[in-house]
Amino acid sequence: MRIAVATQDFSRVSGHAGKAREWLVYDCQPGAPLPQPEQVTLEKSQLFHYFDDVGPHPLDGVELIVAGSAGDGFLRHMSKRGAQVLLTGESEPEVALQKLIAGETLADTRFDPTRALCALRDLFSRH
């Protein structure tokens, strides 16, 4: 299963998935240890706040996205692309993935004031 984690500087789980530029992509195999992630840096036009859904995207094929927060538009957008979104308050990407793989409960999401702005934007969004 390919899992992408939205990050800030590839070190902390990002609080805003739609504008996350740095992603860690894990190709997880059942029963295997957590693999080394691929680091993916998106160009501005590839950020999900701006991406127009025309053509391929660097995160195509990801089945699960882990992030600190995401607006309804992002959730709908990713659902159309075949990816489920899991939100967490966990700040360490590897800790979040280890807990997820072990079937443990992830930390609750943190407060994100930009989510209210995204909700307003989503009312007028193409998503």
How confident is the model at residue 100, as a pLDDT? 86
Across-strand partners of 22?
7, 41
Q: What is the pTM of this model?
A: 0.83
Number of compact structural domains in the chain:
1
Residue 45 corresponds to which tokens in the numbers above? Answer: 């036009």
Whole domain around residue 93: which residue ranges?
2-123
Residue 28 corresponds to which tokens in the numbers above? Answer: 């997880």
Beta strands in 1-127 (DSSP E): 2-8, 12-13, 22-27, 38-41, 64-67, 84-87
How confident is the model at residue 108, as a pLDDT? 72
Each of the 127 residues of the chain gets a pLDDT tens digit; together they read 999 999 999 999 998 899 999 999 999 988 888 899 999 999 998 998 888 777 789 999 999 999 999 888 888 888 988 999 999 999 999 999 988 888 887 777 655 555 555 555 555 555 4
CATH value at residue 18: 3.30.420.130
Residue 12 corresponds to which tokens in the numbers above? Answer: 């902390």
Cα–Cα–Cα angle for 14, 64, 107, rounded to 5 degrees: 50
